[in-house]
Structure 1
């Protein structure tokens, strides 16, 4: 199962890189065509905008899996392990609730826009709204896995705080081989 999940997230990273590459080609090509040849690629702006939305959501999924999102843990890091578990379970349940709203809204928008064509490309607008479905289902899987690990007692104490205080602390944690231990890193970094 771990190989399948790792393969899926490797595919997401490749899609992110592909989105970025296609965006660069479309935008740069359009600029060159406008200035050099007084023409352009009509679908360039629309497709670049769609690719940027997909890139953002896919990047958020990768960040979520790696627990790389920034957050403030000044209160939670001072709690006992039981208090940290309670806060983590509560936050995961709230996230699942938000993901349900995102899923149901994205599903409705995708169904409504199945037959609506984008102005420049003529593609179905369902592709634009469909990323909400991909994001909410994948994110729910990540959250449910984390929730299971908390409730089954499979997390160590330093894993109970699933945010990173700053990018610098995340870099220090990466060099020390830790998953995410901002409070212990902060004390050693001083």
Structure 2
């Protein structure tokens, strides 16, 4: 049930990222046309584009975490025995949880500080901008805790102990397969 919720968040955020990117392109393109063609502009387009970019970045970070598409290196971990990979998995996830806490605390402080501050053009509370960090840290922590729960309950296969999707060592034409997906499970059976 939790995995279904996490996957739903990933799909919803993917769609929100598409909407954010589409709005950014429309606003910037519209502003260019208005400036050069009609000597006018949309006043809020630059500021709103910047806000959408910040939100899109944090939404994308959550999606990347869900899909194990974040950057990483497995040069050491892949050469360790199963016990070493398990220790590294728990240690890495513990460090990521600590970073989520630091991110949450910093974003919370900035949100509180900027509750009364408004943006220059849109005159919207700056807390909405810093709220993106709050949302990211909470959802990222949820994903990490869920992976730790799967690990400690024995539901996490050994193939998923290395939680990155790498393509450096793959021949050209092959795409990496995210752990936990149907394609990854099919690959393990072969």
Residue 15 of structure 1 corresponds to 16
Mapped contact 1:70–1:166 kept (Cα < 8 A): no
Q: Distance in 2 between matches of 1:123 and 1:167?
A: 44
Moved over 4 A (4+): 167-170
Cα offset, 1:11, TM superposition: 1.7
Residue 162 of structure 1 corresponds to 163
Q: Distance in 2 between matches of 1:154 and 1:14?
A: 29
Specify every segment of 5 or more residues in structure 2 that has no aligned partner in the other structure, as ranges. Answer: none
Q: Distance in 2 between matches of 1:157 and 1:14?
A: 31
Q: Equivalent residues in 2 for 1:27-46 (5 A)?
A: 27-46=28-47
Q: Distance in 2 between matches of 1:34 and 1:167?
A: 44
Residue 101 of structure 1 corresponds to 102
Cα offset, 1:49, TM superposition: 0.6
Greater percentage in helix: 1
Q: Equivalent residues in 2 for 1:93-172 (5 A)?
A: 93-166=94-167, 169=170, 171-172=175-176
TM-score (norm 1): 0.88
Q: Distance in 2 between matches of 1:171 and 1:32?
A: 39
Cα offset, 1:14, TM superposition: 1.6
TM-score (norm 2): 0.88
Matched, 1:66 2:67: yes
Counting matched residue pairs gives 182
Q: Which moved more, 1:153-162 or 1:167-176?
A: 167-176
Q: Distance in 2 between matches of 1:155 and 1:4?
A: 18
Q: Distance in 2 between matches of 1:34 and 1:106?
A: 36
Mapped contact 1:115–1:124 kept (Cα < 8 A): yes
Residue 173 of structure 1 corresponds to 177
Cα offset, 1:18, TM superposition: 0.9
User: Could you report, residue by residue, the CA deviation over 1:29-87 in whole angstroms, capped at 9, with x for unpaired residues?
Assistant: 00110110111111111110110011011011001001111311011001111110100
